[in-house]
Amino acid sequence: MKNIAFFGGGNISQAVIEGLLISGFKKNNIFYIERNPINQRKLKKLKINNLKKNNTKIDLFIIAVKPKDAIDTYYNILNEYEDPRIISFVAGIKSSKYKKINKEIEFLRAMPNTSSKFGYGVTGIFNSSFSKVNLKKIICLLNRLGVVIEFEKESEIDTFTGIVGSGPAYFYQILKSFEKKLLKLCNQDQKLVKNIMATLIKGIGSSIENGGDLDNLIKTVASKKGTTEAGLKSFKSNKFNNILEEGLNAAIKRSREISNEF
């Protein structure tokens, strides 16, 4: 997949494009179409190509627009390009709605997250009609961004979207409480606080990556009648885990609802 065109240049497209660039993908092989002036300026800074100003053959099209614009974008690609290969980054809209319009093209759904920008992304995919050869190429491409999970059932994409696609925002929300306390502790030194939080998360990631079971990792930090135990008991009494699970379920539900709205 030499030349890639993004239809829609919002946050997720920008994250994926930046992730591809830091992985060594050539900027001359990335194209975009975007109506929003703010996003246009951000994309221009990445020095990639405006598709409207080029006649280059595109090997892969990525739909990354709002759900309400997805089908129209799909029609535009079909009308303007012969035998396109298409990936949809759009949440909720099922493959059948695209394939009902044209059954012949190669199509799959993918859901990356914004951590793709740094090469730490997690992308879930459901293949509708890509050939085995081209599917391998797509997985190889997305592996540049981090980890790729292939699903056998399309419904699993909705669950993945609610948990992992939206996942970074949940962690950021939790970190806001840490930030508030740390700013007081560090005399409002925002740079220092950001460094502390980033280092904390990196350490946690390394512990998990090295095979640590989550319950055992908790035990290594929490000592009897200590500060950690006091905090954990408070979380438990306030049903912190239940609140988190309810939030995840709400996101999953919304992803499923979107598929019935468009």
Q: What is the pLDDT of residue 261?
A: 74
Using the predicted structure, report yes or no on whether residue 92 has a pLDDT greater than 90: no
Nearest to 261 by CA among 61, 34, 19, 69: 69
Q: What is the pLDDT of residue 97?
A: 92
Q: What angle, 0 to 180 degrees and rounded to 10, lies between the N-to-C axes of helices 240-261 and 167-185?
A: 140
Q: What is the pLDDT of residue 258?
A: 78
Percent of the chain with pLDDT over 90: 79
Q: What angle, 0 to 180 degrees and rounded to 10, lies between the N-to-C axes of helices 214-221 and 190-209?
A: 130
Tokens for 20?
Answer: 């591809």
The rounded distance, in Å, linking the Cα atoms of 70 and 67 is: 5
Neighbours of 84 (CB within 10 A): 18
Which distant-in-sequence residues (6+ apart) come within 8 Å of 244 by Cβ?
A: 170
Using the predicted structure, report yes or no on whether residue 211 has a pLDDT greater than 80: no
Q: Which residue has the higher pLDDT, 223 or 9?
A: 9
Q: What is the pLDDT of residue 22?
A: 96
Kindly report the average pLDDT of the chain as a whole number. 92
Percent of the chain with pLDDT over 70: 99
The rounded distance, in Å, linking the Cα atoms of 28 and 49 is: 7
pLDDT, average across residues 73-98? 93
Neighbours of 259 (CB within 10 A): 18
The rounded distance, in Å, linking the Cα atoms of 40 and 51 is: 12
Using the predicted structure, report yes or no on whether residue 110 has a pLDDT greater than 80: yes
Using the predicted structure, report yes or no on whether residue 164 has a pLDDT greater than 70: yes
pLDDT, average across residues 104-115? 94
> Residue 246 belongs to what H/E stretch?
helix 240-261
Domain boundaries, the chain: 4-159, 167-260
3-class DSSP assignment, residue 5: strand
Tokens for 210?
Answer: 């090295």
Q: What is the pLDDT of residue 262?
A: 67
Q: What is the pLDDT of residue 73?
A: 96
Q: Tell me which CATH homologous superfamily contains domain 167-260.
A: ProC C-terminal domain-like (1.10.3730.10)
3-class DSSP assignment, residue 165: helix
pLDDT, average across residues 187-199? 96
- pTM higher than the cut 0.75: yes
Using the predicted structure, report yes or no on whether residue 234 has a pLDDT greater than 80: yes
Is the domain spanning 4-159 CATH 3.40.50.720? The answer is: yes
Q: What is the pLDDT of residue 19?
A: 97
Using the predicted structure, report yes or no on whether residue 131 has a pLDDT greater than 70: yes
pLDDT 10s digits, 26-85: 999 999 999 999 999 999 999 999 998 667 889 999 999 999 999 999 999 999 999 999
Instruction: Determine contact, residues 142/4, Cβ cutoff 8 Å.
Output: no
CA 35, 36, 39, 44 dihedral sign is positive
Using the predicted structure, report yes or no on whether residue 260 has a pLDDT greater than 80: no
pLDDT, average across residues 186-201? 96
Instruction: Determine contact, residues 92/63, Cβ cutoff 8 Å.
Output: no
Tally the C-alpha atoms within 13 A of residue 199's C-alpha that lie toward its C-beta. 6
Q: What is the pLDDT of residue 56?
A: 80
pLDDT, average across residues 227-232? 93
Q: What is the pLDDT of residue 199?
A: 96
